[in-house]
Amino acid sequence: MFKKILIANRGEIACRIIKTARRMGIATVAVYSDADARAPFVQMADEAVHIGPSPAAQSYLIADKIIAACKQTGAEAVHPGYGFLSERTSFAEALAKENIAFIGPPVNAIAAMGDKIESKKLAMAAGVNVVPGFVGEIDDTEHAVRISEEIGYPVMMKASAGGGGKGMRLAYNEQDVREGFEATKREGLNSFGDDRVFIEKFILNPRHIEIQILGDQHGNILYLNERECSIQRRHQKVVEEAPSPFVTPKMRKAMGEQCVALSRAVGYHSAGTVELIVSGADPSGESFYFLEMNTRLQVEHPVTECITGIDLVEQMIRVAAGEKLAMTQDDIKIDGWAIENRVYAEDPYRGFLPSTGRLTRYRPPVAGWAGDIRGVDGVRVDDGVMDGGEVSMFYDPMIAKLITWGETRDEAADLQIAALDRFEIEGLGHNIDFVSAIMQHPRFRSGELTTGFIAEEYPDGFQGAPADAELIKSLAAIAGFVATAEADRARHVDGQLGDTLDPPARWQVAIGAAVHEIEMVDGDMHVDGAHFDLSMEYDPGDRLIEAEIGEEELAVKISKTRTGFHLTTRGATHVARVLPGHIAHLAMHMIQKIPPDLSKFLICPMPGLLTTLHVNVGDKVEAGQPLAVVEAMKMENILRAEKSGTVKLINAQAGDSLAVDAVILEME
């Protein structure tokens, strides 16, 4: 077994690998860029080596720097995590030349399956079903248009070396191809150093299913069941679960055996994932197609670990050290259900725009994973951030992964909701409300999933999870309780209410259109004249309240406003206006300020680089016309005109770095 390994990655996956290595008694080496100098993974590792500036192209993507760090520290092997160099054949070859073990698959398997075009050819030769499409080099945009028309719309354009949702464009017509083909090439080149693109038919009502593969260097290859990854946004996975609520035992066996056969054909060993697409229009559920093989560990691997009890990182290390797998296919079981939500630094209330910046407060519901695959009471957090840390524009915007395990799918989903309520993040936007809303959504609960779930269920954007009357009533009671506690505290601070004046016993709490009368009588809560079973404690300055309402627990994040509180729970923030009962009627007549009309401005929705400006002063534009392109988090974002008009003023030029809400141009 290795004595020391180097992790050629960063963030949560570096932390996760270090923890398993530590449990195995293996010393670890971290490598880090300028942006990660104070990151948790650097502090966790036994040694750390600085490898360059913040941009990945100048640090994490330079193989020579990784190899130099191995020589400097005496690391015998390298775990690449996912992304960066994990699927680069040149990196694995360079390590082999230096007699450094690569904790991953053999070079020939990476070459065969890491290239999406070549992998499709191999899959076809192996008799695996593949999605209809064009497998070969595409010359230019005109060639892409001809291919798309031959296949039939809609089609998907993909960067050959792409992954993680980058370098992908869905085209419903010729205009989409013309707008998206060159952008797909650029994203592929910028993110993966490869601008080749292929085009395939987009399967309608698709489900995204993937099979986890694990093999050793002695010819043993197993499939570790499936994961459902259908809930995606911009082709990037948001929610994953294992097993799938759709896959039957017959399907699972057919998929697994086909994926093992494909892996065997390329001499695969280590962990890997074969991604499949299943047509939801097929009532039999047996029409599945090969999409690609990821020759590395997947972001969503924890859900497989939870239902199988197998530490995939440990197995990868053991396989790389030459050990045989200690289990057979018959040993692979499904125990319970696991769900993973990716907590991203993005603002779902503003079209999921990236939200980089400093984490002024970071409190996960449980401490970062310390070795128990199923976490604490079924809740596991894989993270790589801390209070005061920064989510940088240079890397992926994921803050953490929240994984829950339960005996049933509903139990795992309920644990997600409760844990998300207790997840405290301040300083930047995040998607906690959004993923909580998904966990509560009736369609998610029914298991009727497709990759179009988010677009179909939130066509007008996300405005928070809906709340029923009982939840609003509970929040009103909590607001009344807190208001009483705050007033009682004020009475004892500098005599603000006088020595003998008691705090108000009655409050009127308005949340949206609902107004509730709250009264405290001898410490007993009444809502609208009826007893309300509320048990909680509150200290001024608390940001998270744990309340018991009857036999139910409710965690609520709270912040003060001028007229009451913001109460955040169950996927939404509710504005509670709280006034003493005898003057509450005055607040009902307060004039609300009407927000200004900003439609004449083109406003930068995120921090990023203005790469293209399509118009000049005096140009007439139509609603929906592309005006500019802003690049953020390695993704190109097309900004379009909200309405027709004439360009009056331009405030930025291509090449400018823009802050969020910067005005790019103004219309007459």
Closest CA to 369 of 435, 432, 306: 306
Beta-ladder partners of 525: 520
Distances from the Cα of 607 to the Cαs of 22, 52, 212, 603, in angstroms?
A: 38, 23, 36, 11
Q: How far is CA 32 from CA 9, 61, 85, 373, 518, in A?
A: 8, 11, 14, 26, 54
Among 262, 325, 261, 268, which Cα is nearest to 110's?
268
User: 3-class DSSP state for residue 186?
Assistant: helix
DSSP letter at 382 equals: E
546 belongs to the catalytic site: no
112-149 burial string, b = 16+ CB within 10 Å, else e?
bbbbbbebbebbeebebebbebbbeebeeeeebbebbe
Residue in 473, 397, 405, 456 with CA at minimum distance from that of residue 632: 397
Three-class SS of residue 560?
strand
- Inter-residue contact 259 to 271 (CB < 8 Å): no
Nearest to 217 by CA among 317, 319, 80: 319
Residue 367 burial (C-beta neighbours within 10 Å; 0-12, 13-18, 19+): exposed
DSSP reduced 3-state for 258? helix
Annotated catalytic residue, options 228, 241, 292, 340: 292
In whole angstroms, what is the distance from residue 58 CA to residue 395 CA?
13
How far is 42 from 11, CA to CA, in rounded Å? 9
| Helix, strand, coil abundance in the chain, percent, nearest 5 | 30, 35, 40
Q: Which residues are catalytic?
A: 292
